[in-house]
């Protein structure tokens, strides 16, 4: 009888690439170290930002990428700024806002957990992102919203409730997300992880009403609850929160700005306040995107992994006006060249004391978590979608040699997977469209580096720096390794990651009728996580 054995997958929808070193002789020199200047030539922005009455710096889906992208293969250098650099940038931008006598807010749309060793590499007994979030708490965020990656593990949510949300003084928002905790009498109660909403005044005295919404996520851990957005907007607290008219509504949340439920929130506000400016800061699908739901609103989504810092500005007018407002948005490449350009500084006066302390602290955290060990040096870069499969530079080829797909089953489960937090399909489709629009033409231009080339639904050009898009090749949804050399009477065990268990059982039962496979037939294969396999391979093959 065939055994079905699983590898623990550790949230596989945070897809990645393996980047080789361009100098094998320096394989030992891969520590997380502060670079005074980027290690490769970077293009500066071509134009200044459009400052206005209200200005917002936006981050989302950072997933632990707080020490920047440190490889020399493009597009990684575009995103080489670390959180210390970002903190210095924010400080200078705050000063510019003072000089211009305008408002500048700092906003985040969730998913601080799950992505790098800084957030996930804690010693036994620790909690995801507990230490790395201490550095995010040092930044002057005005509003932060919860993401789905804050909810996969109850202890992570509890840590956010107890130790992170209090730093925001009521401005860590979880409008439709609760956690169950015991009250002072030991009786379990369901309470918001952060706050349902926030009302505050800007430095210029403008009144703001803000909510923090999570999309209809379905894979949250026991002890947490996510209310459907359609139900949230019917709640009495929501009606009371939006009853008074502010100078503008700031709707922040871990939900894509298009093809999701932001219109439900937007329309609920518009039913009470038809003309009040509405600014929406979304996230989750890891893409750069912008849309205007009407002429007096703008919705911005600012990528992933600290590969994008969003900037949104709005020119306000008199209350009751029905005229279209003037908005601007920009997608910044987070590196020191970008930051120094827009902060109007040079390398010698860019770093602030806060920024330097954050960089130093993150580097020390990397040492504490033993993140500086080199597993091995790849002979070349291996990528998932930038190389055709099969090929010598395909990461999938590195894992396997034959293509396997059952497309119908995947399509049937796509909606369920999205509810559980799977966004890589959306992100890769965005890359595919980007390559189809501009790929061959722009990559032929020798003066352009690889990066994002955004086409969204808002007027004007959003990208801060002109790039050629990344090459994109489609990849199979499933791959399998070649079978070993066996005889007819040798049993072959089927080993797979646990994330696809339901799909795999369905596939097995669809392609044969000798046996009906169920969850009872599945056993654990090893305690080694699938995310650790590549490192173990690199130690053996590339060291």
Q: Is the pLDDT of residue 33 over 90?
A: no
Residues with Cβ within 8 Å of 166's Cβ and at least 6 positions away in sequence, in order, are none
The percent of residues in the chain predicted with pLDDT above 70, rounded, is 89
**Mean pLDDT, range 18-42, rounded to an integer:** 47
pLDDT, tens digit, 9 for 90 and up, residues 473-506: 888 778 887 776 666 676 777 888 887 898 889 8
Element containing residue 55 per DSSP (H, E): strand 54-59
Same domain, 51 and 130: yes
Same domain, 404 and 278: no
d(CA 277, CA 268): 14
Residue 222 lies in a domain: yes
Last residue of a domain, one of 319, 338, 368: 368
Pull the structure tokens for residue 260.
């999701």
Same domain, 397 and 306: no
Residue 232 lies in a domain: yes
With CA atoms as reference, report the closest residue to 352 among 85, 161, 164.
85
Residue 15 lies in a domain: no
Cβ(260)–Cβ(217) under 8 Å?
Answer: no
| Angle separating helix axes 407-419 and 424-443, nearest 10 degrees | 110
What does the DSSP 8-state code read for residue 401?
S
Site of tokens 């211009």: 100
Last residue of a domain, one of 368, 401, 427: 368
pLDDT, tens digit, 9 for 90 and up, residues 505-530: 988 898 889 999 999 999 998 888 88
Residues facing residue 4 across a β-bridge? 494, 522
Query: Considering the chain, what is the average pLDDT of its residues?
Result: 89
pLDDT, tens digit, 9 for 90 and up, residues 64-76: 999 999 999 999 9
Residue 24 lies in a domain: no
| Angle separating helix axes 336-343 and 83-100, nearest 10 degrees | 10
Same domain, 247 and 113: yes
**Mean pLDDT, range 145-172, rounded to an integer:** 98
Q: How confident is the model at residue 407 (pLDDT cuts 50, 70, 90)?
A: very low
Tell me the CATH number at 127.
3.60.21.10
Query: Which pLDDT score is estimated for 268?
Result: 98
pLDDT, tens digit, 9 for 90 and up, residues 104-145: 999 999 999 999 999 998 888 899 999 999 999 999 999 999
d(CA 456, CA 313): 17
Residue 26 lies in a domain: no
Query: Which pLDDT score is estimated for 27?
Result: 30
CA 400 to chain centre: 28
The percent of residues in the chain predicted with pLDDT above 90, rounded, is 68
Give me the domain span that covers residue 291: 31-368
Query: Which pLDDT score is estimated for 447?
Result: 85
**Mean pLDDT, range 4-23, rounded to an integer:** 45
**Mean pLDDT, range 441-461, rounded to an integer:** 90
Which ranges constitute the DSSP H helices of 45-162?
83-100, 117-120, 132-136, 154-159
Task: Tell me how crowded residue 75 is: count the other CB atoms within 10 A of its CB.
Answer: 19
Strand, coil or helix: 107? strand
Structural domains of the chain, count = 2
Same domain, 349 and 455: no
**Mean pLDDT, range 406-429, rounded to an integer:** 72
d(CA 327, CA 315): 6
**Mean pLDDT, range 216-240, rounded to an integer:** 98
What is the pTM for the complete model shown?
Answer: 0.82
Q: Is the pLDDT of residue 87 over 70?
A: yes
pLDDT, tens digit, 9 for 90 and up, residues 283-310: 999 999 999 999 999 999 999 999 999 9
Same domain, 424 and 303: no
Residue 355 lies in a domain: yes
**Mean pLDDT, range 452-477, rounded to an integer:** 91
Query: Which pLDDT score is estimated for 410?
Result: 53
Same domain, 399 and 487: yes
Task: Tell me how crowded residue 454 is: count the other CB atoms within 10 A of its CB.
Answer: 22
Give backbone dihedrals phi and psi of 402, rounded to 5 degrees, phi first. -130, 150
Same domain, 123 and 264: yes
Gap between the terminal Cα atoms of the chain = 39
Same domain, 315 and 460: no
494-497: strand order across its sheet: 494-497, 4-7, 522-524
Query: Which pLDDT score is estimated for 48?
Result: 98
Same domain, 325 and 178: yes
Q: Is the pLDDT of residue 18 over 60?
A: no
Same domain, 333 and 413: no
Same domain, 303 and 430: no
Query: Which pLDDT score is estimated for 440?
Result: 86
* Lowest-pLDDT range of 7-21, 273-287, 438-452: 7-21
Last residue of a domain, one of 368, 399, 432: 368
Residue 21 lies in a domain: no
Q: Is the pLDDT of residue 98 over 80?
A: yes
Give backbone dihedrals phi and psi of 396, rounded to 5 degrees, phi first. -65, -35
Residue 289 lies in a domain: yes
Relative to beta strand 288-291, strand 248-254 is unpaired
């Amino acid at each position: 009888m065939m055994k079905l054995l699983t590898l623990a997958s550790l949230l596989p929808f945070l897809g990645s690439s393996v980047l080789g070193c361009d100098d094998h002789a320096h394989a030992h020199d891969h520590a997380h170290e502060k670079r005074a200047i980027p290690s490769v030539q970077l293009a500066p922005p071509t134009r200044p930002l459009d400052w206005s009455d209200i200005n917002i710096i936006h981050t989302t889906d950072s997933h632990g990428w707080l020490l920047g992208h440190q490889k020399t293969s493009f597009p990684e250098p575009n995103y080489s700024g670390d959180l210390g650099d970002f903190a210095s940038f924010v400080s200078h931008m705050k000063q510019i806002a003072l000089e211009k006598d305008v408002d500048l807010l700092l906003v985040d749309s969730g998913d601080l957990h799950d992505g790098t060793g800084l957030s996930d590499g804690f010693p036994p007994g620790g909690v995801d992102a507990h230490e790395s979030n201490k550095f995010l708490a040092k930044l002057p965020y005005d509003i932060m919203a919860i993401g789905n990656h804050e909810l996969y593990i109850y202890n992570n949510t509890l840590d956010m409730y107890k130790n992170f949300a209090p730093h925001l003084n009521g401005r860590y928002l979880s409008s439709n997300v609760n956690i169950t905790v015991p009250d002072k009498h030991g009786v379990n109660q369901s309470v918001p992880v952060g706050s349902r909403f926030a009302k505050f005044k800007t430095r210029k005295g403008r009144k703001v009403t803000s909510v923090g919404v999570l999309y209809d996520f379905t894979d949250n851990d026991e002890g947490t609850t996510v209310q459907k957005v359609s139900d949230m907007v019917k709640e009495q607290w929501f009606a009371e929160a939006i009853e008074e008219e502010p100078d503008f509504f700031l709707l922040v949340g871990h939900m894509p700005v298009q093809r999701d439920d932001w219109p439900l929130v937007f329309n609920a506000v518009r039913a009470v306040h038809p003309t009040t400016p509405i600014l929406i800061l979304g996230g989750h699908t890891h893409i750069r995107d912008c849309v205007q739901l009407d002429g007096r609103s703008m919705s911005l989504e600012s990528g992933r992994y600290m590969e994008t810092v969003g900037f949104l500005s709005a020119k306000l007018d008199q209350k009751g006006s029905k005229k279209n407002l003037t908005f601007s948005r920009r997608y910044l490449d987070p590196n020191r060249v970008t930051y120094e350009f827009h902060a109007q500084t040079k390398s010698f006066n860019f770093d602030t004391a806060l920024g330097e302390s954050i960089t130093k602290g993150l580097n020390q955290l990397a040492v504490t978590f033993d993140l500086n060990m080199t597993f091995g040096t790849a002979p070349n870069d291996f990528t998932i979608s930038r190389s055709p499969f099969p090929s010598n530079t395909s990461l999938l080829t590195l894992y396997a040699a034959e293509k396997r797909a059952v497309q119908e089953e995947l399509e049937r489960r796509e909606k369920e997977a999205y509810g559980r937090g799977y966004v890589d399909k959306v992100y890769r489709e965005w890359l595919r469209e980007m390559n189809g629009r501009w790929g061959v033409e722009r990559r032929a231009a020798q003066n352009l580096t690889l990066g994002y080339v955004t086409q969204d639904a808002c007027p004007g050009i959003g990208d801060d720096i002109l790039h050629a898009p990344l090459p994109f090749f489609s990849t199979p949804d499933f791959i399998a390794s070649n079978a070993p050399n066996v005889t007819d009477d040798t049993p072959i065990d089927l080993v797979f990651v646990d994330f696809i268990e339901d799909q795999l059982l369905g596939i097995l039962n669809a392609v044969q009728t000798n046996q009906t496979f169920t969850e009872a037939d599945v056993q654990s294969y090893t305690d080694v996580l699938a995310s650790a396999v590549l490192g173990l391979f690199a130690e053996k093959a590339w060291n």
